[in-house]
Chains A and B, each alone.
Chain A
Amino acid sequence: MTEEALFRKLEAEEKNDEFIAVESQTFLQAAWKNFKSNKRALVGGIVLIVIVLLAIFGPMVAPYSYDEQNMALRNASPSADHWFGTDKMGRDIFVRILYGARISLLVGLVAAVVNLIIGTLYGGIAGYAGGKVDMVMMRIVDIIYSIPSMLYIVLIMLMFGASVGSIVLGISISCWIDMARIVRQEVKSLKEQEFTMAAFVLGASSKRILVKHLLLNAMGQIIVTVTLMVPQAIFTEAWLSFLGVGISAPQASWGTLAQDARSLIQVYPMQTVYPMLAICITIFAFNFVGEGLEKALDPKRKR
């Protein structure tokens, strides 16, 4: 290049003064990139997907049903036919665990939906309205929270009988409380941000402000909370079933499986270990995913 060319004055169009260096990526793209780079979260996610697929399709292709007894083969050790062996009634433990996964995941799914709808809206409205409305709504929450959930569940069981439906209903009553509190807190702080005031000055309705500005921005927190609330619900179900308040035989949930095996724990300890492992792995997987999402969706993380 000649000196003249080097010292040629640039035209305005040649300068990129409104330059934006950051690659354009949407919030979700950025979050996904971050999530992918988190090994633990990724493993958790894959494990969850495998569990879900197994729960849905496993029982369909299995050669046994969950209540098929084979009295000739009681308490069998693991084999090619029965991967985890059989229980004291000669039922295939692996198939029963898969069946239990269906119940656990159903409970988790219902808890997620309840959290997302009731918890989010309840907390959102309380946080946005503030003042007296907020106070009354939060006192109601306190009351629900202060009554042990065991009590409702036993009552519901008495009224509707011990079934999956009853236990799901029982868990639904109280599982959204934490979500409501978290969303309320989040909304309260977002409400103070100038973009909320901007929307108000522009004339946006309360509904628009709540949904488009407050809850949309709280979405990261909401998703993270859901992934942490779901294992809690799964755990509650297992625990209740283990105590004998939940699902009853011959239906299998992870809790009842552990309960059934408990009497034989000294002779066949593995029968207890399998359902416990299933609970453990599932809850760990959810927690890892939740942690990963928390990091990926953190709005404070600039860029």
Chain B
Amino acid sequence: MSLLEIRGLTTEFKTEQGIVKAIRGIDYTVDKGEVLGIVGESGSGKSVGMLSLMGLLASNGRVTDGTITFDGEDLTPSNLDTKKKKKQYEEKMRKIRGNDISMIFQDPMSYLNPIVTIEKQMTEGILYHTKCSKKEARQKAIELMKKVGIPAPESRLKQYPFEFSGGMRQRIIIAIALACNPKLIIADEPTTALDVTVQAQILDLLKDITKDTDAGVIIITHDLGVVASLCDRISIMYGGNIMEEGTSDEIFYEPKHPYTKGLLASIANSSADKREELKPIPGTPPDLLKLENECPFAARCSEAMEICTKYNPLVTEFSPTHRCKCWLHCRDRYKEVVKGDEADE
């Protein structure tokens, strides 16, 4: 059984303009020791899925459908119709957050409390989730800081976040995430705010950590370069749908979806022998407010067909790990979606 299993997760946000369906029935599985990369542009829903899992959606957000199973336990946040159920769910999540599942965020400064010492912030979780003395917690914090490569941890524990550089702060966030030996680590754009040379340091650290632990790791990013070196499997999101999912090799060398192909063609690669012309994807990302049941990529897709503007495609499996959601690959099954009378017309 997988460590994490998400089925048909759908999340909506209520806004002034109407209901925004931020994710529209997505499936994920993560096994122990596996690194899953979720790649998507802004508005693709790549972060919303994980926030739904953690029960950290903004107050106007709501999971309307789908199931979440984590380590054999049902964590589905939909159908919380009574206050009691809601309270039970909150209670359950509080125990899981920071303990079984921990998160690493993009901007370490907004996650760390600026007026509390690093020691307090690091031991807080340890003390909350495990039964140990302050001294043991402190010892554990020092070990963790050594592990993430912070020099002189004993003296640095007494310092405040502003006394650390951006890269060091991100290391602390990683240390905090590791504190309770989590079963699942979710890293949301862990290197986006960092400079190239520091990014390389953090990516290296993440790589070591994913190798050492048997925890499942999910890395959310917009940068294909980050996932290429780090992830076992990659999931490409667009407009609230998973467009394609596969091993890194499958995604990079045998992409099936026009969007994945388009993404790969639109990035420059200086390691290539000669400078190739970039092939951008035309147009702009869809407005989720106006998106109905069509394929979200239809308006920008070079292969778009009539059906793409009317029906969301079915999932096609190319290998046990490789799935893709595109009408190009599931034409034979279109009658499953198109109603009989409409098909005959």
Q: Which residues of B contact A (CB under 8 A)?
A: 16-17, 282-284, 286-287, 289-290, 298-301, 303-310, 327, 331, 334, 338, 342-343, 345
Contacts and interface: CB of A to CB of B under 8 A. Distances in A.
A264 to B, nearest CB: 53
Interface residues of A, number: 17
Nearest to B342: A1
Nearest to B287: A21
Interface stretch (A11-19, A187-195, A214-222): A11-19
Interface stretch (A2-10, A109-117, A198-206): A2-10
Contact of A16 (B16, B299, B334): B299
A303 B16 CA distance: 9
A19 to B, nearest CB: 6
Contacts of B301: 15
A16 B282 CA distance: 10
Kindly name the residue among B303, B306, B331 whose own CB sees the greatest number of chain A CB atoms within 10 A: B306
Given A3-B343, A16-B299, A303-B17, A9 B287 contact: no
A6 B282 contact: no
A21 B287 CA distance: 6
A15 B300 contact: yes
Contacts of A16: 299
Contacts of A10: 304-306, 308-309
Contacts of A303: 16-17
A10 B307 CA distance: 10
28 contacts: A1-B343, A1-B345, A2-B343, A3-B331, A5-B306, A6-B307, A6-B310, A7-B305, A7-B331, A7-B334, A8-B305, A9-B303, A9-B304, A10-B305, A10-B308, A10-B309, A15-B301, A16-B299, A17-B284, A17-B299, A18-B283, A19-B283, A19-B290, A19-B299, A21-B287, A21-B289, A21-B290, A303-B16
Contacts of A3: 331, 334, 343
A182 B290 CA distance: 39
Interface in A6-47: 6-10, 15-19, 21-22
Given A17-B282, A17-B299, A19-B290, 7 more contacts: A1-B342, A3-B343, A6-B306, A10-B306, A16-B299, A19-B284, A19-B299
B36 to A, nearest CB: 30
A215 B301 CA distance: 43
B303 A15 contact: no
Contacts of A17: 282-284, 299-300
B22 to A, nearest CB: 15
Contacts of B305: 6-10
Interface of A: 1-3, 5-10, 15-19, 21-22, 303
B292 to A, nearest CB: 12
A18 B338 CA distance: 28
A3 B306 CA distance: 10
B11 to A, nearest CB: 20
Kindly name the residue among A1, A10, A16 whose own CB sees the greatest number of chain B CB atoms within 10 A: A10
A15 B284 CA distance: 12
A15 to B, nearest CB: 5
Contacts of A5: 306
Given A7-B327, A21-B290, A15 B299 contact: yes
A58 B287 CA distance: 53
A16 B303 CA distance: 14
Nearest to A11: B304
B259 to A, nearest CB: 13
A265 B218 CA distance: 75
Contacts of A21: 287, 289-290
A46 B334 CA distance: 58
A18 B286 CA distance: 9
